[in-house]
Amino acid sequence: MSVGSLIDFDQLDEEVQKLIRESASARSFSYSPYSKFKVGSALLCEDGSVRTGCNVENASFSVTICAERCALIKAVSEGRQRFRSIGIVADRIDGRLTTPCGVCRQMLSEFGDFAVYIASPDMRQALVTTTHELLPHVFRKGSKNNFESSSMPV
Ligand code: THU
């Protein structure tokens, strides 16, 4: 199954190109001695400010934090909860752009449906998608302060 569309880098808005470049810069700070797989991310908040993140691994593998969650936690902990888009840069795996893990999809979707731009370090193309496209039927909080498994009746 394919999600989103592949767009040439020079066809993207300036704002999006900048976000992808910021993601690539953040990737250089990746602490990934175990996987050697560097990931960078940049989250554009509704107020125009950006929070960047990289993956931070640990000898206790399961406590590793992905780049996307790193950026998200920085933003939320600094009072930002509304987002325009997120950029993610990582190497391709088997020729395919690297899409966020399930945990990151869940964390990002908590804050609504916003644009996701995924590129590899060569920045030739970006996969353009959204948080909800990446995680259909997401588990999320209901609108009346209760919890509903999905907004969509099944
Ligand atoms: N990783 C991310 O940071 N983001 C993703 O979207 C996928 C995976 C990290 C976690 C781990 O440090 C390394 O990549 C290999 O899984």
pLDDT at 3: 86
Nearest residue (by CA) to ligand 1, atom 5, is 100
The tens-digit pLDDT sequence of the chain (154 residues) is 678 999 999 999 999 999 999 999 999 999 999 999 999 999 999 999 999 999 999 999 999 999 999 999 999 999 999 999 999 999 999 999 999 999 999 999 999 999 999 999 999 999 999 999 999 999 987 765 445 555 555 5
> Where does the chain show beta strands of DSSP type E?
5-8, 39-45, 50-54, 83-90, 115-119, 125-130, 140-141, 147-148
Q: Which CATH superfamily is domain 13-134 in?
A: Cytidine Deaminase, domain 2 (3.40.140.10)
| pTM flag (> 0.85) | yes
Q: Per this entry, what is the length of the chain?
A: 154
Nearest residue (by CA) to ligand 1, atom 3, is 66
Active site residues: 68
Alpha helix (H) residue ranges in 7-143? 14-27, 67-77, 102-109, 131-134
Ligand 1 neighbour 28 (Cβ under 6 A) = no
pLDDT at 142: 72
pLDDT at 144: 57
Q: Answer yes or no: are the C-beta atoms of 114 and 86 closer than 8 Å.
A: yes
pLDDT at 90: 98
Ligand 1 neighbour 64 (Cβ under 6 A) = yes
Q: How far is the CA of 144 from the centre of ligand 1 (A)?
A: 34
pLDDT at 141: 78
- Going from N- to C-terminal start, the domains of the chain cover 13-134
